Amino acid sequence: MFKPKAIYFEKNIENYELGKQLLEKYKEVPKVEIENHNNIEEMRNKQNSEFMDMKRNLIIGIRKTHKFVENHKTSDYLVPYTSSGCTAACMYCYLVCNYNKCAYLRLFVNREEMLEKIIKVANKSEKDLTFEIGSNSDLILENTITGKFQNFSKRSFNFSNQI
Ligand code: SF4
């Protein structure tokens, strides 16, 4: 089980239920308040050789950009979703050049807003759409921290039954 060494968090996560829950869950873990999960200067200034240590941190923020990328292979859209990065440190990782920018696990607490956007886009479409949420976000890994996967699955199931 992943035990973060420190939590880097955006102040506004306190306005979201999941943000509050995670701050409570990790109340004993040292915290660093950050302006933006996308640009943590302290991390950017670290050497790649420090990546093992960097990946022991958990970043919690709000995803501001919900840009869907058209995909003509496995789905209609690739959707950056509720997390990015991971807690592992595989030596062959394709993120090797980004260890100090984004390879660490970032969790986003505004998941209702993200799901609402998917529903809105789907409802506007004249055909059924497939949204690929797993190419950027590892929901199984997230679930070990948030325990939210079951709720998400139920909500998605209800959504797919509506359309
Ligand atoms: S993104 Fe994949 S390959 Fe890279 S460290 Fe994480 S689990 Fe390993």
Q: Whose CA is nearest to atom 4 of ligand 1?
A: 93
At 36-57, the pLDDT tens digits run 999 999 888 888 788 888 889 9
Q: Residue 29 and residue 40: Cα distance in Å, rounded? A: 18
Tokens of 118: 């998917």
Give the Å distance between the CA of 139 and the centre of ligand 1: 14
Does the C-beta of 93 come closer than 6 Å to ligand 1? Answer: yes
Read off the pTM.
0.88
Q: For a pLDDT cut of 90, what percent of the chain falls above it?
A: 61
Closest alpha carbon to 2 in 152, 126, 160, 146: 146
At 110-128, the pLDDT tens digits run 999 999 999 999 999 999 9
**122 and 79 in contact (C-beta within 8 Å)?**
no
